[in-house]
């Protein structure tokens, strides 16, 4: 890069921030589950694939868009309950690493069943947003990305509302703060966990549709989790604002690094530079930007 | 971290040397009588390489309490380093290339182990992904590592140790077996020394360990170094004794997960678990696919069978974690106790652990 | 006690499965057959390609069996083994299937699996077919006697693409001063052609900028913004899997016209463009075989197999798709190699080495291709003992939103220019591995007894 072009810089920055929103969308699903049940749910990517594949297959069979959405949502809710019953409940109080491994097994089950049910074909998914770029002061902005950002904002607002203003949200927070205290005051953990997994299913569906529209609905959709992981490291595993800010930071950093630094080492550094950046931040703040400081217990 | 099964419990009715002798006789004497090329090349070779990687990871994760999702990266470092030492230093004995490659991997392990001085739990685990992606990228990016091969792959050099060539399926098996046994014996020895006890102390309670005078930082980095050394050499076995031509992408995140699976399913903080887990992970998919093809091959195509298999393996993993969270090693000990218990007391066996 | 019981049943189940496992190890073979082990993948990230390709090859084998009763009376048989495109599974499949009698050739359609097999099949003396992919330097039959990157290796592909752009611009002279960006997948596969683009840019006077997309390629904002800044005349897409639709979508997002994007041979299928929707309309890609079902051989497959429910593809809409047709062409080349070898060695079951000889004399001119019912499906091939690629011609197809349309003649890559580079690389390989470089005389020595099972000697 010989001469610095400020408009181009802004363009990369904006593009990065908008990509970051897409990462945050996936990261939020992780945060929800981790915050309330302490499970690092690696199956989030598989859930995303499952949701998107179910939705797109229904649409291709002629089911109207809205109905397909509702049906998929119902399927994801059932899935959430089933996961709580068959995986989480028997593994309660097991070490986090065991739970993490169980979700890897779960990812296998979900990927296998999604493909067994709906086939391995690659599908296109059009959400009806015309992705023609528009240009403000020489800076190119994607209309689809803006739409995705709006959806993400809406979803976060909805989650915030549920968390802050409803009884179930209060229960979520109680469980997140202290499981034993929550049990002691009579909250029923299985119900709350089911509810959380349903919420994670909902997030997976939204993220699946937006990512599906970008990549096509296919197996590789489950790989988007790799983009969410550095976001989690940076933002903290248990903070939704952290996921969003982390997403924006990671998105912007990785795009700027790829464009401005990539040239010196030959490019393609996106795959790891996000982790290195997150790691750098962690060395200063070991609990992530917004994560709770862990109390050390034996 | 579960720590129900420490080195203590792996001591059974026979003294340790008895076990070793038994394993040696079976592995060197009996297996070659029964094994075909298929068994050597498709089952024993990946089994040995993965077992060794799991032994290495178990030192870090099971004993020293640091979860790593980057094992495959260290395997890659080992394999590519050995290839380059062998290629670029004329007249360097093969065994020294292996040793240097292990040391290179250990060096990497220390560098990527530095975050463990600050981070804990999943933050640490995910930070190891940096190693995973960086190594994969660097090996692909810089052609020097693959000797400017236009396809970016490395080919295994002939394995010759002290003038003796280890070629053919059985030769490669003997080579891999010897390496695995030596390093496992080293690991088994290590965990019973003060250093090994330091690993466990740091895992169980870092603050307490520091108070009783365990050098925490040094111990953590040492665990990373030893573990990476062993995993690096496992990578050499994977590349030279098993696949014989590898590309960097062969050491991807899935491989790291696979090794983590092995130690969880086998049992954390047991060396025996690494072997049991690797056996299960290598053999189970093969058994399932064989049975599937045999029983149902006429009715469904291979795709349907394989997807069902994927579901089944995932489900088995979950069931296993629920039923036997301490891993195959615990199952093994229980089965053995029940067996010998029945022999001595002639009474129905009881559950050993509730 | 409840838990106890569970465990015993698990163990006894395991024992039972081991017994079954041992039973499954034995395989049967009959005398008048030629066996093709197929390391297919119908699951996982590349399942769509695998079902199409292996579906096409199996369809053609089926056609030969049911229409002609095999090749001169020798039935074609095959077994599928699922690899999920994973190297270790592919190797396991190789070890599982290699003990089968009468193996003609291996067709893994996976670069990684092919690499891992090179040493093994060379020892077994059975050909390994890597149609349109594989190690470029395996084109040199002097060093790689058993590996056949038929029709098109990556270098020829590069040259073919540049020749097409030149033709579009009205001749090689007009390339001077043009700017081409190559967007490549961050893997050895993606990087393989970097030196060739550099070489051609120096020779023909265009500028080239090569940009890497990290695996898996589901995020390309940075790369396309760089492209937007660079304002190239053409973008060559050297993609893989999900990277392709994302590239097309991101191109649309950053305002780069799809009809100035040229895809390589792994970015040319329906699966690469359908997910991109409208963004793919106008996108052009190289291919060695035309798509569509109007060719006589496909019509016969439809008539003989699909009309009676014996076709391999589940979705009939995929008949004539890019991967299906590639599979059919692959089937044709395998069968013709066997046929040619039979003419030399007798109309019987052949050894792998005899089939290798057949591949090394696989000469199908346009007339023979037409006789096979494949006129227009692919051009021709001429494999020799030292040229294992066989000078395949390429053509270009444009996506109109529904199907691919052929938009060029058959174009010849600049083989003469590429050959010295290939030889340099293969000779380096021979040196590294201590291999003897083969002569034409060596190539005519053919082992007519099965050598498998003696491979332990190495």
- SS3 state at A281: helix
Contact: B126, A229; criterion CB under 8 Å:
yes
Q: For residue C14, what are the contacts with CB-CB under 8 A and spacing of at least 6?
A: none
Q: Please check whether residue B85 lies inside any domain of the structure.
A: yes
For B344-351, what is the mean pLDDT?
50
E strand or H helix that includes residue C261:
strand C261-263
Distance from CA of B118 to the nearest CA of C (A): 29
Question: How large is the average pLDDT for residues B190-219?
Answer: 92
For A147, the 3-state DSSP assignment is helix
Phi, psi of A171 (to 5 degrees): -65, -40
Q: How far is CA B334 from the centre of its chain?
A: 23
Q: Is C268:C245 a contact under the CB 8 Å cutoff? A: no
Which CATH number do you get for residue B135?
A: 1.10.3470
**DSSP secondary structure, A110-137, as one string:** HHHHHHHHH-S--B----S-----EEET
Q: Which of A119-128, C39-48, C444-453 has the lowest mean pLDDT?
A: C444-453
Boundaries of domain holding A104: 20-219
- Collapsing DSSP to helix, strand or coil, C179 comes out as strand
User: Does residue C91 sit in the same domain as residue C228?
Assistant: no
| Higher pLDDT, residue B5 or A15 | A15
On the 0-12 / 13-18 / 19+ scale of CB atoms within 10 A, B118 is middle
Which of the four pLDDT bands, split at 50, 70 and 90, describes residue A292?
A: low
pLDDT in tens, B82-105: 999 999 998 899 999 999 999 999
Based on the structure, what is the number of domains in chain B? 1
pLDDT, residue B13, reads 52
- C373 and C402 belong to one structural domain: no
- Residue C135: the pLDDT is 86
Same domain, C279 and C312: no
**Interface touch C253/A269, C-beta < 8 Å:** no
Q: Does residue C20 surpass a pLDDT of 60?
A: no
Whether residue B66 is predicted with pLDDT greater than 70 in this model: the reply is yes
What's the rounded Cα separation, in Å, for the pair A108 and A123? 21
- Domain hosting C341: range is 12-152+291-382+421-457
Dihedral of CA atoms B145, B147, B151, B153 in degrees, nearest 10, equals: -60
- C-alpha–C-alpha distance, residues C8 and C310, integer Å: 44
Q: CATH number of the domain at C263, please.
A: 3.40.50.2300
C38 in the same domain as C88: yes
Kindly state whether residue A254 falls inside one of the protein's structural domains.
no
CA A118 to chain centre: 23
Q: Which of residues 149-208 of A touch B (CB under 8 A)?
A: none
With cut-offs at 50, 70 and 90, classify the pLDDT of residue A107.
very high
Task: Write out the residue range of the structural domain in which residue B128 sits.
Answer: 4-251
Considering only CA atoms, which of C137, C327, C230, C353 is closest in space to residue B155? C137
Q: What would the pLDDT profile of C170-182 be if each residue is shown by its tens digit?
A: 999 999 999 999 9
Q: Considering the domain boundaries, does residue A280 fall inside one? A: no
- Give me the mean pLDDT over the B106-129 stretch: 87
Question: Are C296 and C148 contained in the same domain?
Answer: yes
Q: In the prediction, which pLDDT does C433 show?
A: 82
- pTM of the predicted structure, to 2 decimals: 0.87
**Which residues in chain A touch residue B257, judged by CB atoms under 8 angstroms apart?**
104
pLDDT per position as a tens digit, C385-427:
999 999 999 999 999 999 999 999 999 999 999 999 999 989 9
Inter-residue contact C82 to C42 (CB < 8 Å): yes
What is the distance between the alpha carbons of residues B43 and B169, in angstroms, rounded to a whole number?
Answer: 11
- Does residue C58 share a domain with residue C125? yes
Closest by Cα among C171, C132, C174 to C153: C132
Q: Which of A291, A148, A273 is nearest to A214 (CA)?
A: A148
Name every residue whose Cβ is closer than 8 Å to that of residue C21 and which is 6 or more positions away in sequence: B286, B287, B290, B291
The predicted structure's pLDDT at residue C111: 84
Q: How confident is the model at residue B58 (pLDDT cuts 50, 70, 90)?
A: very high
pLDDT at C127 over 70: yes
List, in order, residues 6 or more apart from A142 with CB less than 8 Å away.
A15, A18, A131, A133, C253, C254
* C404-406 β-sheet, strand order: C207-213, C179-185, C234-238, C261-263, C284-287, C395-399, C404-406
Nearest CA-CA distance, residue C96 and chain B, Å: 6
Contacts of A258 in chain C (CB under 8 A): 222-223
B354 assigned to some structural domain: no
What Å distances lie between residue A110 and A78, C21, C317, CA to CA? Answer: 13, 27, 27
pLDDT tens digits for range A168-200: 888 888 887 787 888 888 888 888 888 889 999
Chains linked to C by 3 or more Cβ pairs within 8 Å: A, B
CA gap C259, C226 in Å, rounded: 19
Which chain A residues are within 8 Å of C274, Cβ to Cβ?
122-124, 216
* Co-location of C144 and C41 in the same domain: yes
Helix (H), strand (E) at residue B324: none
Chains in touch with A (≥3 Cβ pairs < 8 A):
B, C
Q: What is the pLDDT of residue A293?
A: 59
Confidence tier at C92 by pLDDT (50, 70, 90): confident
**pLDDT one-digit tens code per residue, C305-341:** 999 989 999 889 999 999 999 999 999 999 999 999 9
Judge: B151–C192 Cβ closer than 8 Å, yes or no: yes
| Interhelix angle A96-118/A44-60, nearest 10 degrees | 20
Same domain? For C53 and C121 the reply is yes
What confidence score (pLDDT) does residue B2 get? Answer: 41
> Is the CB of residue C281 less than 8 Å away from at least one CB of chain B?
no
Q: What is the mean pLDDT of residues A194-221?
A: 90
Q: What is the mean pLDDT of residues B294-305?
A: 74
Distance, in Å, from the CA atom of B109 to the CA atom of B77, rounded to the nearest integer, reads: 10
Select the residue of C212, C221, C274 nearest A15 (Cβ to Cβ).
Answer: C221
Number of domains in chain A: 1
Q: Do B291 and C21 touch (CB under 8 A)?
A: yes
CB contact under 8 A, A120 and C42: yes
More confidently predicted of A198 and B4: A198
Mean pLDDT over each residue of chain C, to the nearest integer: 88
For the segment A68-72, the average pLDDT, to the nearest whole number, is 96
B284 CB neighbours in chain A (<8 A) are: none
Residue A295 lies in a domain: no
Q: Is C246 on the interface with A (CB under 8 A)?
A: yes
pLDDT band at C1 (very low <50, low <70, confident <90, very high): very low
Question: Using CA atoms, how far apart are residues C52 and A214, in angstroms rounded to an integer?
Answer: 24
Q: Which of B37, B140, B331 sits opposite C186 (nearest CB)?
A: B140
- For chains A and B, what is the number of CB pairs under 8 angstroms? 129
C53 three-state secondary structure = helix
């Amino acid at each position: 890069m010989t001469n610095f072009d400020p408009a181009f810089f802004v363009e990369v920055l904006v593009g990065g921030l908008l990509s970051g929103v897409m990462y945050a969308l996936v990261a939020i699903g992780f945060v929800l589950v981790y915050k309330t049940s302490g499970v690092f749910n690696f199956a989030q990517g598989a859930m995303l694939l499952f949701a998107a594949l179910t939705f797109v297959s229904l649409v291709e069979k002629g089911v109207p868009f809205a109905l397909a959405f509702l049906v998929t949502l119902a399927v994801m809710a059932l899935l959430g309950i089933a996961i709580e019953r068959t995986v989480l409940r028997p593994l309660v109080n097991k070490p986090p690493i065991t739970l993490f491994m169980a979700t890897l097994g779960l990812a296998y089950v979900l990927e296998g069943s999604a493909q067994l049910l709906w086939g391995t074909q690659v599908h296109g998914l059009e959400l009806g947003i015309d992705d023609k770029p528009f240009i403000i002061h020489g800076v190119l902005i994607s209309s689809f990305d803006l739409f995705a950002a709006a959806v993400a904002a809406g979803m976060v607002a909805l989650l915030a509302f549920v968390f802050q203003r409803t009884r179930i949200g209060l229960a979520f927070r109680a469980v997140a703060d202290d499981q034993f205290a929550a049990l002691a005051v009579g909250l029923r953990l299985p119900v709350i966990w089911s509810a959380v997994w349903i919420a994670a299913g909902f997030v997976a569906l939204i993220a699946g549709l937006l990512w599906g529209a970008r990549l096509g609905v296919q197996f590789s959709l489950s790989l988007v989790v790799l983009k969410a992981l550095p976001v989690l490291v940076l933002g903290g595993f248990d903070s939704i604002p952290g996921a969003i800010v982390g997403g924006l930071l990671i998105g912007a950093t990785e795009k700027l690094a790829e464009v401005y630094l990539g040239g010196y080492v030959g490019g393609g550094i996106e795959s790891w530079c996000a982790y290195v950046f997150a790691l750098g931040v962690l060395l200063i703040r070991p609990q992530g930007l917004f994560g709770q400081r862990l109390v050390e217990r034996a | 971290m579960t720590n129900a099964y420490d080195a203590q419990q792996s001591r059974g009715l026979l003294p340790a040397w008895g076990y070793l002798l038994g394993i040696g006789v079976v592995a060197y004497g009996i297996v070659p009588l029964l094994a075909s090329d298929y068994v050597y090349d498709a089952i024993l070779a990946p089994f040995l390489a993965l077992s060794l990687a799991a032994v290495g990871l178990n030192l870090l994760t099971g004993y020293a309490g640091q979860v790593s999702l980057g094992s495959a990266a260290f395997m890659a470092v080992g394999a590519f380093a050995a290839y380059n030492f062998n290629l670029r230093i004329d007249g360097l004995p093969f065994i020294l290339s292996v040793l240097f490659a292990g040391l290179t991997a250990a060096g990497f392990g220390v560098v990527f182990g530095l975050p463990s001085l600050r981070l804990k739990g999943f933050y640490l685990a995910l930070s190891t992904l940096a190693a995973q992606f960086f190594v994969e990228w660097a090996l692909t990016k810089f052609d020097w590592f693959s000797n400017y091969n236009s396809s970016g792959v490395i080919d295994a050099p002939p394995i010759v140790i002290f003038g003796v060539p280890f070629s053919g399926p059985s030769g490669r098996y003997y080579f891999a077996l010897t390496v695995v046994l030596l390093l496992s014996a080293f690991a088994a020895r290590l965990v019973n020394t003060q250093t090994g006890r330091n690993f466990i102390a740091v895992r169980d309670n870092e603050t307490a360990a520091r108070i009783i005078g365990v050098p925490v930082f040094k111990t953590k980095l040492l665990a990373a170094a030893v573990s990476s050394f062993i995993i690096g050499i496992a990578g050499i076995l994977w590349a030279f004794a098993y696949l014989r031509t590898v590309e960097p992408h062969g050491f991807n995140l899935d491989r790291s997960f696979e090794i983590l699976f092995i130690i969880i399913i086998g049992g954390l903080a047991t060396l025996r678990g690494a072997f049991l887990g690797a056996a299960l992970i290598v053999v189970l998919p093969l058994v399932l696919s064989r049975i599937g093809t045999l029983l149902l091959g006429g009715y469904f195509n291979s795709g349907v069978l394989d997807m069902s298999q994927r579901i089944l393996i995932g489900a088995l993993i979950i069931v296993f974690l629920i039923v036997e969270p301490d891993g195959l090693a615990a199952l093994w000990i229980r089965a053995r106790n029940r067996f010998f218990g029945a022999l001595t007391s002639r009474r129905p066996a009881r559950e050993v652990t509730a | 006690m409840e838990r106890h019981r569970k465990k015993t049943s698990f163990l006894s189940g395991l024992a039972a499965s081991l017994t079954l496992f041992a039973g499954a190890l034995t395989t049967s073979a009959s005398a008048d057959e030629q066996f093709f082990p197929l390391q297919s993948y119908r699951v996982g990230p590349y399942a769509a390609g695998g079902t199409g390709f292996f579906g096409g090859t199996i369809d053609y084998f089926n056609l030969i069996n049911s229409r002609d009763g095999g090749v001169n009376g020798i039935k074609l048989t095959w077994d599928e083994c699922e690899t999920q495109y994973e190297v270790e599974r592919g190797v396991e499949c190789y070890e599982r299937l290699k003990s089968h009698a009468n193996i003609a050739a291996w067709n893994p359609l996976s670069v990684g699996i092919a690499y891992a097999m090179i040493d093994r099949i060379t020892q077994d003396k059975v050909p390994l077919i890597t149609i349109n992919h594989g190690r470029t330097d395996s084109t040199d039959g002097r060093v790689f006697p058993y590996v056949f990157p038929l029709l098109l290796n990556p270098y020829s592909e590069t040259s073919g693409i540049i020749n097409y752009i030149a033709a579009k611009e009205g001749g090689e002279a007009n390339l001077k001063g043009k700017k081409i960006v190559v967007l490549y997948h961050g893997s050895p596969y993606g990087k393989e052609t970097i030196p060739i683009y550099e070489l051609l840019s120096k020779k023909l006077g265009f500028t080239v900028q090569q940009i890497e997309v990290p695996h898996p390629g589901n995020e390309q904002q940075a790369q396309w913004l760089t492209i937007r800044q660079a304002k190239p005349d053409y973008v060559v897409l050297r993609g893989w899997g999900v990277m392709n639709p994302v590239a097309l979508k991101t191109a649309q997002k950053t305002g780069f016209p799809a009809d100035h994007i040229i895809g390589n041979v792994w970015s040319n299928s329906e699966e690469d463009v359908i997910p991109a929707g409208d963004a793919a309309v106008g996108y052009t890609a190289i291919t060695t075989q035309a798509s569509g079902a109007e060719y006589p051989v496909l019509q016969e497959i439809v008539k003989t197999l699909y009309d009676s429910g014996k076709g391999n593809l589940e979705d009939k809409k995929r008949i004539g798709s890019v991967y299906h047709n590639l599979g059919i062409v692959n089937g044709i080349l395998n069968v013709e190699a066997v046929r040619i070898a039979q003419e030399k060695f007798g109309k019987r079951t052949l050894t792998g080495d005899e089939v290798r000889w057949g591949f090394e004399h696989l000469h199908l001119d346009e007339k023979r291709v037409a006789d096979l019912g494949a006129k227009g499906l692919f051009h021709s091939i001429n494999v020799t003992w030292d040229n294992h690629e066989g000078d395949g011609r390429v053509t270009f197809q444009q996506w109109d939103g529904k199907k691919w349309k052929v938009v060029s003649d058959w174009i010849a890559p600049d083989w003469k220019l590429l050959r010295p580079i290939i030889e340099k690389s293969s000779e380096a390989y021979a040196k590294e591995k201590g291999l003897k470089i083969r002569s034409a005389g060596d190539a005519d020595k053919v082992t007519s007894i099965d050598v498998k099972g003696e491979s332990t000697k190495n």
